Chains A and B, each alone.
Chain A
Amino acid sequence: NAGVTQTPKFRVLKTGQSMTLLCAQDMNHEYMYWYRQDPGMGLRLIHYSVGEGTTAKGEVPDGYNVSRLKKQNFLLGLESAAPSQTSVYFCASSSNRAHQPQHFGDGTRLSIL
C-alpha cells in the first residue's frame, strides 16, 4: 500500500517560473490537504479539498492554486514562484468521518532562487 505519494521530492526553481506538485493517494480518502512547513512555523494549511471537484482556501493560500479533478489526486500549482515560497510541502489525506487522522506524504523540498 503506497498511501500518499508526492512528486517530485526535490526541485529548484528560478523566481517567476511555474510548476505543479502532484499528490496521489490510494486509500480512497475524500479529504486532501496541502501544507507548507517552514522552520519554527509548524505546518500551515495552504488549500484543501473535501471531495472531487471541490477546493477551499486554508491559512496561507496566496500565490498557490489547486485542483482536484480526480478523487485520488490533488495538485498544487505555483504560477510565478517567489523566494518566499521556498519551503517543504506536504500533502495529506483523511477519510470523511469526523476527526480522522491525516496521512502524510514524504514531502517535496522546493527552493526558489
Chain B
Amino acid sequence: GQQVMQIPQYQHVQEGEDFTTYCNSSTTLSNIQWYKQRPGGHPVFLIQLVKSGEVKKQKRLTFQFGEAKKNSSLHITATQTTDVGTYFCAEHSGAGSYQLTFGKGTKLSVIP
C-alpha cells in the first residue's frame, strides 16, 4: 500500500527557534492529515489538507500541501515548550477510504 515517509525522526530545538517536519510520498495523495501526540498522550487531529498547493495556518503552525500533492509540511514558528510531542502525518489511500496510513512521526523536543 501507499507509504508516507516523514523526516526528521527527531528534532531538538531551543525555545523560540522554528521547527519543520516533512511528509513525502512517491504517489499522489488524495489528502493529508496531521496529528499531534503529547508525551504519554494519544494522537489528536490538527488539520486536513485536500487541495493542491493548499496552505493553512493555526496560530504559530503553518501547514502546506505540495503542488503535486506528493508532499506536505508542518512549520512551527517560535517554538514553545507546549509544542513538545510527536507530530504525525497520515493519508487516506484513496477516495472514500476508511483507512489512514500514518508516517512514523517526528518527535520534537524544546529546550527551555
Contacts and interface: CB of A to CB of B under 8 A. Distances in A.
Contact of A99 (B30, B42, B88, B103): B30
A98 B99 contact: no
Contacts of A101: 33, 45, 48
Contact of B43 (A43, A48, A94): A43
A106 B37 CA distance: 11
Contacts of B31: 99
Contacts, number: 50
B48 A98 contact: no
A7 B88 CA distance: 24
A9 B5 CA distance: 30
Interface in B32-88: 33, 41-45, 48, 50, 88
Interface in A69-111: 90, 92, 94, 98-99, 101-107
Contact of A48 (B92, B98, B105): B98
A12 interface: no
A45 B102 CA distance: 9
A110 B43 CA distance: 18
A43 B6 CA distance: 13
A102 B101 CA distance: 12
Interface of A: 31, 33, 40-45, 48, 50, 58-59, 90, 92, 94, 98-99, 101-107
13 contacts: A41-B104, A42-B102, A42-B105, A44-B102, A45-B101, A48-B98, A50-B98, A90-B42, A92-B43, A99-B50, A99-B96, A101-B48, A104-B42
Interface of B: 1, 9, 30-31, 33, 41-45, 48, 50, 88, 92, 95-105
